[in-house]
């Protein structure tokens, strides 16, 4: 069953992405105010969902599991690394599509808005996380330092989430619900938005799994190389 799910993950991610594109571009109507520009709602919020909550949430949980002695495992460390790499990619895409959306809406490509700035800061911190992992060759030390860094960085997530409520910003508020939890989007647009979240979530799962497998193979190769080097050294010493 697990093998079937793993094999179906890629095709499901691709199929849902294609379905999102077809529904978002050909089936849903243009917005009354923003026209066709509002079709970015089927991309941008889902990218932010993956970047800020799904990817970084996975990285934070995996990092906490590594730091907890009872659940400490290099599996958790590799999952955290994979999730941060995916998060970094999607933070970049979120900022890019946000700028594309903001240019005709705000008149500029970039403003030092609270949400934009805090999201950009998170992207820089993610690059710092990846740099930190390459600053130490000891797997245990690297994993521990990276886990602590990821958990400390998680403080930025609620700042990003509540920035539109804490400060006066150009960035719009909630896309789906008002503060009173009234639905703001309806009909085919709501279904397409929901599908986009599903599609991007499936793509996240596929990308993390693929990156984890690469990291696992690399770790296995390093162990094999180390064993071979130790055997060669013992042979030289014996002779």
Q: Is residue 7 part of a domain?
A: no
- 24 belongs to a structural domain: yes
Does 113 map to a domain? yes
- Residues 40/34, Cβ–Cβ less than 8 Å: no
Residue-wise pLDDT tens digits, 131-163: 999 887 788 899 999 999 999 999 999 888 887
DSSP alpha helices (H): ranges in 49-73? 56-67
160, 169 in Cβ contact below 8 A?
Answer: no
Give dist(CA 89, CA 85) in Å, integer: 6
Taking the CA atoms of residue 177, residue 179, residue 181 and residue 184 in that order, the dihedral angle to the nearest 10 degrees is -30
Tens of pLDDT, residues 208-228 = 999 998 888 877 665 555 555
Residue 215, in any domain of the structure: yes
**Residue 9 placed within a domain:** no
What is the C-alpha separation between 5 and 91, in angstroms, rounded?
Answer: 27
The CATH number covering residue 161 comes to 1.20.120
- The total number of structural domains that make up the chain: 1
Which residues have CB under 8 Å from 65's CB, separation 6+? 71, 72, 73, 76
- In this prediction, residues 159-176 reach a mean pLDDT of 71
Q: Is 5 inside a domain boundary?
A: no
Is 2 a domain residue?
no
Taking the CA atoms of 199, 200, 201 and 204 in sequence, report the sign of the dihedral they define. positive
Residue 131 in domain: yes
- Please tell me what DSSP assigns to residue 24: I
pLDDT (tens digit per residue) in 47-68? 999 998 999 999 999 999 999 9
> In the prediction, which pLDDT does 62 show?
95
Range of the domain at 141: 15-238
Which tens digit of pLDDT belongs to each residue from 95-140?
A: 999 888 878 877 888 888 888 888 999 999 999 999 999 887 788 8
> pLDDT band at residue 94, thresholds of 50, 70 and 90?
very high
Nearest CA to 85 out of 202, 211, 176 is that of 211
pLDDT, position 9: 85
């Amino acid at each position: 069953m697990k093998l079937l799910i793993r094999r179906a993950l890629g095709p499901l991610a691709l199929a849902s992405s294609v379905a999102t594109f077809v529904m978002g571009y050909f089936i849903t109507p243009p917005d009354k105010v923003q026209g066709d520009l509002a079709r970015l709602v089927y991309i941008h919020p889902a990218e932010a969902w993956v970047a800020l909550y799904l990817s970084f949430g996975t990285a934070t949980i995996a990092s906490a599991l590594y730091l907890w002695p009872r659940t400490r495992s290099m599996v958790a460390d590799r999952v955290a690394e994979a999730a941060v790499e995916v998060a970094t990619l999607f933070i970049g895409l979120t900022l890019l599509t946000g700028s594309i959306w903001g240019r005709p809406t705000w008149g500029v490509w970039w403003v030092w808005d609270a949400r934009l700035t805090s999201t950009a800061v998170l992207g820089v911190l993610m690059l710092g996380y990846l740099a930190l992992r390459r600053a130490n060759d000891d797997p245990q030390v690297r994993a521990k330092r990276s886990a602590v860094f990821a958990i400390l960085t998680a403080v930025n997530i609620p700042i990003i989430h509540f920035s539109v409520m804490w400060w006066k910003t150009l960035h719009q508020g909630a896309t789906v619900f008002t503060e009173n939890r009234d639905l703001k989007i309806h009909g085919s647009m709501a279904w397409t938005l929901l599908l986009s979240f599903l599609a991007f979530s499936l793509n996240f799962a596929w990308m993390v799994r693929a990156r984890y497998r690469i990291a696992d193979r690399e770790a296995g190769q390093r162990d094999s190389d180390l064993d071979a080097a130790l055997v060669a050294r013992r042979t030289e010493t014996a002779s």
